[in-house]
A and B are shown apart, each in its own frame.
Chain A
Amino acid sequence: MRVLVLFFLMLSMLTLKYLMGATGADPMPRAILAFGFMIFAGYIAGCYVVKIGLPSISGYLLAGIICGPELLNLVDHGTVLQFGIVEDLALALIAFTAGGEIKLSKFKKCALSILSISVLQAVLIFAIVMGGSYLAMYHINSFGLLTRDLIVVSIMLGAVAVACSPATTIAVIVGSRSKGRITDITIGVTVIKDVLVFLGFTMALAIAYAIKVGGTLKGGVIGEALIVIALSLIGGVAVSVVVGLYLKYIRREFVIFVVTVSLGIVFLSKLLGFHYLLSCLMAGFLVENFTSLGDRLVGAIERTSMAVYIIFFALAGAMIDFTAIRTMWPYALGIVFLRVLGTAVGTYAGASIGKEGRLLKRYGWMGFVSQAGVGLGLVVTVARVFPEWGATFRTVMIAAITINQLIGPITLKLLLNKASETSEKHLEEVIAPLVKKVQGIS
């Protein structure tokens, strides 16, 4: 029934577009219309993919892909760009929720595992992707690069591969209402890796640039990166203080407050060159753990999460560049494979140090496949700094990130199901037998 309604909504939308055809030069009304339709399509696709065991965000992405320029072309790239502010707001709210998901009391218990997996994953993904891609390019070298350039390219491939997607991780976890040790470790590692990636990427960029120009590494670049990360985190602390005071003394107009604060962080971060994702993560973490009513605020934001995720991931789906996949899929698949290998080895090693169970050691990597906005941002930076091969690099990496973005949520949901930490699995494996038992007794 819902699909039928959606079909009629689409028909009415196309009729309106046809009616407008002769008169409308302004693309904004069509953009708003398409955006509204995409919300419905995302919601319905999300409902249906859950029925076949996939995470709802795969449905949101799918809706975006279907409405996007590759298929129905209801929304084009220009339209998506018009909603940049909505996307930023959604991402800020997701990051805030992600920070809020880190509850100190729970994370203290698995701190060693989180730290060891984060660090080892970052190091090993970087090493394996860099080494593997260097060897592959050295032997194939279909791009005709010099050895020095090959080293630079592989360093940058390794650095970008470390990035993961906190937004996807949180969306899948919140969407499937997962709870448990593996869920906590996955969130913790994703968040810590998010901090590490900014630092690691800046260092890698400085090294790669030094190799390229044949100069020495400037310590200032790494220092600058550290300052930016520190300032982003301090920004998060400042925001949490403001939120804390607000919750203590004012406690009203939460909707305006949350939206204003989130957009304010995004705006200030862009103005001052901070990473607003880090600021929001930090703010969410501090508000949840160190303010009296913070958990209520984070909970309230979480209750609006579905709308935020649909908007964010449907827009992301519409932006997916399939041309890149079509042209560069063999290279992209190679990078995806190397990255998964690095993640798997890193997770195994880290989980062993943390004395975790077999499940996490063997299948833990499945929680860290997804990549999205952060990775894309880094790719753009690389393409700008190294214009000679930047365009090809960008196409290959966009293709790889797209593949990761599509399979990442699915593998994470599989992991959480395997660990029986999603609400449906919990219901199926713990509650249902109990109910049967009780029924048998009675």
Chain B
Amino acid sequence: MESIIFILILVLFAYMGAGLVFKSWRLPFFISSFLHAGVGFILMGVAVGPLGMDWLNSTRLDLFIAPTSIILSWAGLMFGLQFRVKSLRLISRANFKIAVIQSLVVFFFCCLFLLPLRYFKPDLFLSLSEELPVVFALAAIASISAPTAVSAVVRRMRAHGTTARTLLYVSASDAIVGISLFGISLSFFKMDTMVEGAFVQGFIWLLITIGLGFLLGILYHVFLKLRLSSNERLVIAIGIVVMLAGAASTIDVSPLFLSMIVGIVLNNFSDDQDRLLSLLSNAEKPLFGMMLILAGAYWMGFESFCVLLSLFFVVIRIVAKMLGSRVAFWAVPLMKGNPNLFGLSLLEQGGLSIAMSLDFLNRYPGMISQIVVSAVVIAFVINGVASSYFIRLLLNREEGIA
């Protein structure tokens, strides 16, 4: 109990402090983007984790497996609830194509370059079947972007042009590809089926995950279709999140992916899911903060392999994002400007990348997963800070806003 209270106190003080700072001062661009990206929480996690004060030691971190599943299920549901096919039709299809192409290119490019991972550290004795989930997970994490920094900079610069809109849209929607690829990878490489005939087993698990998502989505929809008071809707929301976390953990598939499917089903079957989304978003701040602190606590420090992998991950992601944008704008010539800079503007990873890495850690507990979390954390920090600079540069050049 004390660990949870401790983290909650940290989150509370962090938000209070940030609120006070933002209210009192207009911070320099670099510092404000640093805070907006949630890097502060990661640093807190590092400070209280095994590398710092050792308050959140490995025994205590183990206690967070169940709460993490619930947080992941919540995140997936939130994300899924924002995807409505009707709305997609209203927005330019070109933007969606750019998001998908860019994301797929990043995924395959990263897969290709991460494949020799096991030769980086031979003493881990990773077999190919053990290495593949790691590679696919990292590649899927690399493929997603977050709209937080983009919307903050766009708002701050009051940008309204095509570039700003495309950037906002692509950064908000490429995660659907990333999470889907991630969920598919985790279903295919379920740890307990990583034996002979893994492909068939994995495929069945994937079908089970998708089928279960659809089934639960439809069942929950029946509940939500009723006239409910806000109190009742809260009960249903809690029930959905907890049950999805339990269902995913029981069959050992990604709660993020399963909940995303449920969210999408719910959102597309009914016209009244905004209330559910707004209810869930009430818990966004504490859960987001908790997740980042946990990720920070899992960081393995400046171990040479870890740093090397993190830097390698950051570099290939940068290259992949530039390449992805190039290919996307070649396929969909929506913008005449600099696609490389557009790709660099999509560097921010956001909380979803951390969620995915924690999801991976829950499914594949062990040293290699901690290395994945560490790499994602470092990339999160670097990209979170760097992306704001590139977004500003892009809007500056493309839309002439100073």
Min CB distance, A181 to chain B, in Å?
26
Are A32 and B245 in contact, CB atoms less than 8 angstroms apart?
A: yes
Partner of B250, one of A30, A253, A310, A311: A30
Please give the distance in Å from B128's CB to the nearest CB on chain A: 22
- Secondary structure class of chain A's binding surface, majority of residues: helix
Whether B236 pairs with A16 at a CB distance below 8 angstroms is no
Residues of B within 8 A of A43 (CB): 232, 235-236, 239
- Contact code string A1-38 (vs B, CB < 8 Å = 1, else 0): 11001001100110011011001100011111111110
Task: Kindly identify, within residues 239 to 265 of chain B, every residue whose CB is under 8 Å from any CB belonging to chain A.
Answer: 239-247, 249-252
Within 8 A of A (CB), among B181-219: 192, 208, 212, 215-216, 219
Alpha-carbon distance between A264 and B69 when the two chains are bound, in angstroms: 23
* Closest chain A residue, CB of each to CB of B9: A260
Evaluate whether A267 and B5 lie within 8 angstroms (CB atoms) in the complex, with A28-B65, A256-B285 already known. yes
Q: B65: which A residues are within 8 A, CB to CB?
A: 28
Closest to B230 in A: A303
Contact B246 A266, beta carbon cutoff 8 Å: no
Residues of A within 8 A of B192 (CB): 23
Q: How far is the CB of A48 from chain B (nearest CB, A)?
A: 13
Q: Which residues of B contact A311 (CB under 8 A)?
A: 238
Task: Give A310's nearest chain B residue, CB to CB.
Answer: B235
Residues in B whose Cβ lies below 8 Å from that of A266: 1
A303 touches B219 (CB 8 A): no
Which residue of A24, A40, A263 is within 8 Å of B1 (Cβ)? Answer: A263
Is A304 among interface residues, defined by CB-CB distance under 8 A? yes
Quick check: is A307 within 8 A (CB to CB) of the other chain? yes
B66: shortest Cβ distance to chain A, in Å? 5
Which A residue's beta carbon lies closest to that of B66?
A28
| Distance between B219 CB and nearest chain A CB, rounded to angstroms | 5
Contact of A259 among B212, B235, B241, B286 (CB under 8 A): B286
Q: How large is the interface on A (under 10, 10 to 19, 20 to 34, 35 or more residues)?
A: 35 or more
User: Which residues on the B side are within 8 Å of A305 (C-beta)?
Assistant: 231
CB distance from A334 to the nearest CB of B (A): 38
Known contacts A263-B5, A306-B231; is-contact A252 B15 (Cβ 8 Å): yes
Known A-B contacts A23-B252, A28-B66, A303-B231; A253 and B247 likewise in contact (beta carbons under 8 Å) = no
Q: A32-B70, A43-B236 are in contact. Are A252 and B1 (CB under 8 A)?
A: no
Closest B residue by C-beta to A260: B8
Q: Does B122 contact A (CB under 8 A)?
A: no
B212 A32 Cβ-Cβ under 8 A: no
| Chain A residues with CB under 8 A of B242 | 32, 35-36, 39
Chain B, interface residues (CB within 8 Å), range: 35 or more
Q: Is the CB of A267 within 8 A of B250?
A: no
Closest to B244 in A: A36
In the assembled complex, B402 has its CB within 8 A of some CB on chain A = no
Distance (Å) between the CB of B337 and the closest chain A CB? 40
A85 to B12 CA separation, bound complex (whole angstroms): 19
Q: B246, A252: Cβ atoms under 8 Å?
A: no
What sequence of 0s and 1s flags, for each residue 1-19 of chain B, a beta carbon within 8 Å of any chain A beta carbon? Answer: 1101100110110011001
**Given A23-B252, A39-B239, A303-B230, does the pair A33, B286 have CB atoms closer than 8 Å?**
no
Contact B282 A255 (CB under 8 A): yes
A39 touches B8 (CB 8 A): no
Smallest CB separation, A274 vs chain B (Å):
15
A140 at the interface (CB under 8 A from B): no
Which residues of chain A in 250-296 are interfacial with respect to chain B, using CB atoms and an 8 Å cutoff?
250, 252-253, 255-257, 259-260, 263-264, 266-267
Cα separation A292 to B16 with both chains bound (whole Å): 20
Please give the distance in Å from B318's CB to the nearest CB on chain A.
35
A2 with B8, Cβ < 8 A, contacts A29-B249, A39-B235 known? no
Q: How far is the CB of A40 from chain B (nearest CB, A)?
A: 5
Interface status of B115 (Cβ within 8 A of chain A): no
Are A24 and B250 closer than 8 Å at their CB atoms?
A: yes
**Is there an interface contact between B247 and A256, defined as CB atoms closer than 8 Å?**
no
Contact in complex: A253, B219 (CB < 8 Å)? no
Query: Does B117 reach chain A (CB closer than 8 Å)?
Result: no
Using Cβ atoms and an 8 Å threshold, which residues of chain B touch A259?
8, 286
Q: Does B222 contact A (CB under 8 A)?
A: yes
How near does chain B come to A260, taking the closest CB pair, in angstroms?
4
**A9/B219 contact (C-beta < 8 A), A252-B16, A303-B230 known:** yes
| Bound-complex Cα distance A417 to B69 (A) | 43
Specify which chain B residues have a CB less than 8 angstroms from the CB of A24 in the assembled complex: 250, 252
- Tell me the complex Cα distance, A24–B246, Å: 12
The residue on B at minimum CB distance from A35 is B242
Asked if B124 lies at the interface with its beta carbon under 8 angstroms from chain A, I say: no
> What residues of chain B lie closer than 8 Å to A32, measured between beta carbons?
66, 69-70, 242-243, 245-246, 249
Could you list some 14 contacts between A and B, CB below 8 A?
A: A5-B222, A8-B219, A9-B243, A12-B216, A12-B219, A16-B212, A29-B69, A29-B249, A30-B246, A33-B250, A37-B243, A256-B289, A260-B5, A307-B238
- Which A residues fall within an 8 A CB radius of B? 1-2, 5, 8-9, 12-13, 16-17, 19-20, 23-24, 28-37, 39-40, 43, 82, 85, 88, 250, 252-253, 255-257, 259-260, 263-264, 266-267, 303-307, 310-311
Q: A36-B242, A39-B235 are in contact. List 4 more A-B contacts (CB 8 A).
A: A9-B243, A253-B19, A263-B5, A267-B5
The 8 closest A-B pairs by CB, nearest first: A36-B243, A33-B246, A29-B249, A32-B246, A36-B242, A39-B239, A260-B8, A306-B231
